[in-house]
Amino acid sequence: MSQAAVAIPIPAERQGWSRFTGFVADSVAMLTRNIITLRRVPQLLVFSTIQPVIFVLLFVYVFGGAVGNATGLPYIDFLVPGIFVQMSVFGAMGTAIGLASDVKSGLLERFHALPMARSAVLAGRTSADVVRNVFVILLVSGVAMLIGFRVQTNVFGYVGGIALVLLFGYALSWVFAGVGLAVKDPETAQAAAFPIMAPLVFASTVFVPANLMAPWLQPFAEHQPVSVVASAARALMLGTPNNGYVLQALLWIVGIIAVAAPLAVRRFRQAI
Amino acid sequence: MSNANDPAIAVRGLQKRFGDLEALAGIDFEVAPATVFGLLGPNGAGKTTAVRILTTILEPDGGTAEVLGFDVVRDPERVRLRIGLAGQAATVDPNLTGRENLRLVGRLSQRPRPWIEQRAAELLENFDLTQAADRPIRTYSGGMRRRLDVAAALVGRPPVLFLDEPTTGLDLPSRNTLWDTIRDLVAEGTTVLLTTQYLEEADRLAEQIAVVDLGRVIAEGTPARLKAQLGSTVIEFAMSDEMDAERAVGALSRQRAEAEREGSTIRVPTTEGPRSLMEMLRTLDAEGLYPSSLTVREPSLDDVFLRLTGHHAEPAVEAGSEQPVPVGGAA
């Protein structure tokens, strides 16, 4: 058997600036891998393309009539920023499932024996979620505009709203990275993540304004982070009253990352 | 840095414990550059733990381990740049194609990109995976995955290679191909640490073997030396009952054969199979003892263990269920 490839010198270990460029290169390699996976696994592809579109159509045409008038806006306008937030929350589960699979399959162990930046595994994973969310948001925007969604402010408000939602999804990816690394099994990760997400998404102002809910639920539904981000995105995209939502949303994002990222990194170190 | 004569791998007093389990109870060994070293032992002997420490995945609780002169704890980065690992599980991404998997490992090993492409194509060719190169791994058979896993360990052309039970789950042709690959790599200067449960595999490939049991090295030497200790052939007589077996052991011992009894089975390691078999049969015949069955085979890991430790390789091996040593070409 021939080993034709010329011998190459062993690369020098990274120091100083090359540690950073190396981290970026490794993260891009991991991101590329995760994006390929996203494209190639039918469940993930359906989850990030068909499902959000169905949600938009379902809510607009089935539930929209019932709640539409209570929002003070055309229901589709109210709904779309909410759908963006909902997708970014559900999508963060991908990080939990992906990392749990990597632990279970032993792939993480192989990564540990490679001269790569450790942090690139997490960075590549969480940034893959951002890329997926950008794709989903563009797709949903397209469909929504076809059936009547209109940005009420301007392009800056729209882009700003999207950026806020993406940041929120990114923050949640760190939460779910910790979950995935803790449970170490993709099915368990999914089972563990869903009960956290479902109440946050459904007991929120994502689909329905809080004043239509049971009175005891209203304070929670108004002020929990998913609602805050949805309200902030609406303020930016539709010009609804801000009431400090944007600032609150940013604080939530910073707070979640500050707590969840160190926990996830610690879990990552212990995952082997 | 290391000189040409320094060991490629040096392990001293290595210890690791997981809770109550002492996985490594202080092992020592050295591997000369451009040789194959075999860590031979049953499941749970500590082989994989040793490999995981040497590949910087785990940190030891005590002792030191160096790869090409770099300490695995103090200098893991330099170690990782110089090693390749193929673990027990086929650790490749099932959703990437064979080529994409190799590319990923190459990039994360910091090798230059055009070189990686060439190297990946060459490895796919060598491991007979060119046809399947651009299909996701989840469509591969078990043997194909295993081959790709080993190929991934070779992408960076690492000077030191760790193969943790590389032929487990491989069919015979794939196993032979892998053995040839290992020999070629060593001829080009690669140092290989191989763990295996098969005495035959260690015998065929390794210049030096360490037999490990319960986290300790219980024997070390060249395959020839270990085999001389063990006999190159094992003859097994099944007698009708334990009393007959005991009488047979007595008769054979007088004939200088080192017979060991277990239940009603007698096991005799020997260096000259056919001749001693005939002598033994004559002896038994003279005593009026007739074996109910007779087996002549190469020594298995279990024989090695029985000989060295007085216990079986697996705590509860049922008669007949032990992994037979694959019988191949030259014996």
Q: What is the dihedral of CA B272, B278, B284, B287, to 10 degrees?
A: -120
**What pLDDT, on the 0 to 100 scale, is given for residue A68?**
67
Contact of A60 with A147, CB cutoff 8 Å: yes
CB A33 within 8 A of CB B96: yes
Separation between Cα atoms, residue B167 and residue B325, nearest integer Å: 13
Q: At what angle do helices B142-154 and B98-108 cross, to 10 degrees?
A: 30
Widest distance between CA atoms in chain A: 75
SS3 content of chain B, % helix, strand, coil (to 5): 35, 25, 40
HSE, side-chain direction, 13 A CA sphere, residue B82 = 25
- For residue B257, pLDDT beyond 90: no
Per DSSP, chain B holds a count of helices (H) and strands (E) of 11, 14
- Give the integer Cα–Cα distance in Å for B84 and B225: 29
Q: Any CB–CB contact under 8 A between B93 and chain A?
A: yes
Judging contacts by C-beta atoms under 8 Å, the chain B residues touching residue A14 are 77, 110
Residue A3: predicted pLDDT: 47
> What pLDDT was estimated at residue B229?
72
The helix-helix angle for B113-126 and B98-108 (nearest 10°) equals: 140
Residue found by looking up tokens 């999914």 in the block: A190
pLDDT level of residue B322 (50, 70, 90 thresholds): very low
Q: How large is the ipTM?
A: 0.85
Show Cβ contacts of residue A113 under 8 Å, excluding neighbours closer than 6 positions.
B55, B56, B57, B80, B83, B85
The percent helix, strand, coil of chain A (3-state, each to 5) is 80, 0, 20
pLDDT in tens, B272-320: 767 778 888 888 888 888 888 888 887 776 777 777 776 666 543 333 3
Contact between chains at B108 and A26 (C-beta distance less than 8 A): yes
Is the pLDDT reported for residue B329 higher than 60?
no
Instruction: Decide which of A1 and A88 is more confident.
Output: A88
B88-103: per-residue pLDDT in tens?
766 889 999 999 999 9
Work out the percent of chain B whose per-residue pLDDT is above 70: 90
Q: Which DSSP symbol is given to B299?
A: P
Of A88-97, A206-215, B123-132, B298-307, the poorest mean pLDDT is in: B298-307
Is any Cβ of chain A less than 8 angstroms from the Cβ of B126?
A: yes
B275 touching A (Cβ < 8 Å): no
pLDDT at A241: 84
CATH topology of domain B9-222: Rossmann fold (3.40.50)
Q: Give per-residue pLDDT as tens, A32-46.
A: 999 998 888 877 777
Inter-chain CB proximity A22 and B110 less than 8 Å: yes
CB B276 within 8 A of CB B265: no
Helix (H, G, I), strand (E, B) or coil at B219: strand
Residue bearing the bigger pLDDT, A199 or A6: A199
Which of A 118-177 lie inside 8 A of B, CB atoms?
Answer: 120
Dihedral Cα A71, A72, A78, A82, nearest 10 deg: -40
- Average pLDDT of chain B is 85
Instruction: Check CB contact under 8 Å for A110 and B87.
Output: yes
Q: Is the pLDDT at B327 greater than 70, yes or no?
A: no
**Alpha carbon distances (Å) from B318 to B304, B312, B321:** 17, 10, 5
Place of tokens 């368990």: A188
Judged on CB neighbours under 10 Å (0-12, 13-18, 19+), B41 is buried
DSSP-assigned letters across all residues of B35-76? -EEEEE--TTSSHHHHHHHHTTSS--SEEEEEETTEETTT-H
Fold of B233-297: Alpha-Beta Plaits (3.30.70)
A contacts of B110 (beta carbons < 8 Å): 11, 14, 22, 115-116
Query: Which range among B98-107, B224-233, B281-290, B320-329 shows the weakest confidence by mean pLDDT?
Result: B320-329
Instruction: Give me the percent of chain B exceeding a pLDDT of 90.
Output: 48
Question: What average pLDDT does the segment A209-223 reach?
Answer: 88
Where do we find the tokens 């929002």?
A: A71
Confidence class for position B3, pLDDT limits 50, 70, 90: low
Q: Are A50 and B199 in contact (CB under 8 A)?
A: no
Q: What was the pLDDT predicted at B328? A: 34
Tokens encoding B130: 């060119």
Residue A92, pLDDT > 90, answer: no
Q: What are phi and psi of A129, to 5 degrees?
A: -60, -40
Q: Would you list the domain boundaries of chain A?
A: 27-270
Q: How many CB atoms lie within 10 A of CB B2?
A: 14
Contact B86, A109 (CB under 8 A): no
Letter for the amino acid at A30?
Answer: M
- Mapped onto helix, strand or coil, the DSSP state of residue A218 is helix
Contacts of A32 in chain B (CB under 8 A): 104
Nearest-Cα distance to chain B for A107, in Å, is 5
pLDDT of residue B331: 31
Chain segment B52-106, per-residue pLDDT in tens = 999 999 999 999 999 999 999 999 999 999 999 997 766 889 999 999 999 999 9
Q: What is the model's pLDDT at position B330?
A: 34
| Higher pLDDT pick, B99 / A90 | B99
Interface A:B, Cβ pairs < 8 A: 103
Q: Does A37 touch chain B (CB under 8 A)?
A: yes
Instruction: For residues B319 and B187, give the distance between their C-alpha atoms in angstroms, rounded to a whole number.
Output: 40
Task: Tell me the C-alpha distance between A36 and A45, whole Å.
Answer: 11
Q: What is the mean pLDDT of chain A?
A: 88
Query: What residues does each domain of chain B span?
Result: 9-222, 233-297
Q: What is the mean pLDDT of residues B220-237?
A: 80
Q: Count H helices, E strands: chain A?
A: 12, 0
Q: Of B9 and B5, which is predicted with more confidence?
A: B9
Separation CA A244–CA A267 (nearest Å): 34
What the block records as the tokens of A13 is: 């270990």
Residue B326 has pLDDT above 60, yes or no: no
C-alpha A209/C-alpha A72 separation (Å) is 10
Q: Are B151 and B125 in contact (CB under 8 A)?
A: no
Say whether A89 sits in a helix, a strand or coil: helix
Write down the pLDDT at residue B324: 38
Supply the pLDDT for residue A13: 87
Whole-number pLDDT of residue B319: 37
In sequence order, the 6+-apart residues with CB closer than 8 A to the CB of B14 are B24, B26, B27, B28, B50, B53, B60, B62, B63, B64, B65
